[in-house]
């Protein structure tokens, strides 16, 4: 068993136009003052990192780490959630997802995909230059519009979609392998990798690539009615990252999993700040510790009720209180009678 690292915080939902959220220095001081020990950096925000430069220059990476460490914190991982999404986009989402790419790629799906792949390639190298061993991303989706089989899906549609998804990701996974970095897919509705079964389908297509790992976020499983504790039992060897995010699901006679097209406040399933939802974090931290997860516990704030500043203030102590300092001795060691082979044979009547 190993002790989980933390608390850390994902910066994506906190960056903004006002101080201290509009610069690396400002937000580093802010999170350090709240008690966080690490930051997960969204690579699409140039105020935090120049991804291309980080992929090319050890000097730049050393200076970046030095600046962050001067506040008593460290980089836990980099994230390419938005860029990973663009590796595979169904045409139905082209207009909406164009916003994740530079304007030069808008209306040009192929160019947008090439840009996204380049971003992932840079992220692999940047992770190595920063001394990181895991990276967060989304898989993107080609089959998601057909998740509910009505009208009936043509035979082979899902298989063809996953074959194409695998073909797009294999070279990227190989690049991460070359850098010694695990690529961790956040299992998430809206992505083709949205539960354990779809993840296994993907693994089959990529020959169970050793770098195709998981970012575990229980909030997305609450909204799917998926057993998020058994998920750890099934996939703990692949879980290399952990988002600590809460959620709740309160179905009524009027709506359930699909939410009736309502906004987040009015949905039966919604994300909440830590401690305000239904996730059993005590059991999650116990299971992850039991299986030897030694990565970071990273708070991701997404709540439709509580402010992000209050959520962040409450997040660091919440995580700290749940981290288990794993034992180095068995509770019944005091009664150990030692090893005596003759005695063992005598006990067994041998």
User: For 152-210, what is the HEC assignment?
Assistant: CCCCCHHHHHHHHHHHHHHHHHHHHHHHCCEEEEECCCCCCCCCHHHHHHHHHHCCCCC
Q: What is the pLDDT of residues 172-193, one digit of tens each?
A: 999 999 999 999 999 999 999 9
**If we measure between CA atoms, which residue out of 243, 232, 235, 185 comes closest to residue 211?**
185
What is the reported pTM?
0.95
Give the pLDDT mean for 38-57.
Answer: 98
pLDDT score, position 335: 60
Q: How confident is the model at residue 342 (pLDDT cuts 50, 70, 90)?
A: confident
Encode pLDDT of 66-97 as tens digits.
999 999 999 999 999 999 999 999 999 999 99
Condensed to tens digits (0 to 9), the pLDDT of residues 266-324 reads 999 999 999 999 999 999 999 999 999 999 999 999 999 999 999 999 999 999 999 99
Q: Where are the domains of the chain?
A: 5-347
What's domain 5-347's architecture? Alpha-Beta Barrel (3.20)
Average pLDDT on 195-204 reads: 98
Distance from C-alpha of 63 to C-alpha of 74, rounded to nearest angstrom: 12
pLDDT at residue number 334: 60
Computed over every residue of the chain, the mean pLDDT equals 96
- Is there a cis peptide before residue 171, judged by omega within 30 degrees of 0? no
How does DSSP assign 281-337, residue by residue? HHHHHHHHHHTT--SEEEE----SSS-HHHHHHHHHHHHHHH-----SS-TTGGG--
Q: Please state the rounded mean pLDDT for residues 86-109.
A: 98
Confidence tier at 332 by pLDDT (50, 70, 90): low
């Amino acid at each position: 068993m190993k002790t989980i690292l933390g608390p850390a915080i994902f910066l994506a939902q906190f960056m903004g136009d006002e101080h201290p959220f509009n610069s690396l220095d400002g937000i580093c001081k802010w999170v350090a003052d709240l008690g966080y020990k690490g930051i997960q950096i969204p690579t699409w925000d140039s105020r935090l990192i120049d991804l291309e430069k980080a992929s090319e220059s050890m000097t730049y990476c050393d200076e970046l780490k030095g600046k962050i460490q001067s506040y008593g914190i460290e980089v836990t991982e980099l994230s390419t959630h938005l860029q990973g999404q663009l590796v595979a986009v169904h045409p139905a989402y082209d207009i909406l997802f164009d916003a994740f790419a530079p304007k030069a790629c808008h209306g040009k799906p192929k160019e947008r995909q090439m840009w996204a792949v380049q971003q992932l390639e840079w992220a692999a190298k940047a992770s190595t230059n920063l001394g990181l061993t895991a990276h967060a991303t989304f898989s993107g989706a080609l089959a998601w519009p057909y998740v509910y089989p009505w009208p009936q899906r043509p035979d082979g549609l899902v298989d063809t979609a996953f074959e194409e998804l695998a073909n797009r990701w294999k070279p990227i996974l190989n690049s991460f392998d070359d850098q010694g970095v695990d690529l961790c897919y956040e299992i998430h509705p809206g992505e083709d990798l949205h539960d354990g079964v779809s993840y296994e389908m993907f693994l089959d297509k990529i020959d169970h690539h050793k770098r195709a790992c998981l970012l575990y976020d229980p909030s997305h499983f609450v909204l799917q009615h998926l057993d998020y504790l058994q998920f750890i039992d099934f996939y703990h060897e692949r879980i290399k990252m952990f988002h600590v995010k809460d959620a709740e699901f309160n179905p009524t006679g009027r709506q359930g999993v699909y939410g009736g097209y309502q906004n987040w406040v009015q949905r039966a399933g919604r994300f909440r700040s830590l401690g305000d939802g239904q996730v059993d974090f005590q059991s999650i931290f116990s299971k992850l510790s039991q299986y030897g997860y030694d990565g970071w516990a990273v708070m991701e704030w997404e709540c439709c009720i509580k402010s992000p500043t209050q959520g962040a203030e409450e997040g660091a102590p919440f995580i700290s209180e749940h981290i288990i300092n794993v034992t180095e001795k068995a509770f019944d060691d005091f009664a150990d009678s030692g090893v005596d082979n003759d005695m063992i044979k005598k006990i067994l009547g041998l």
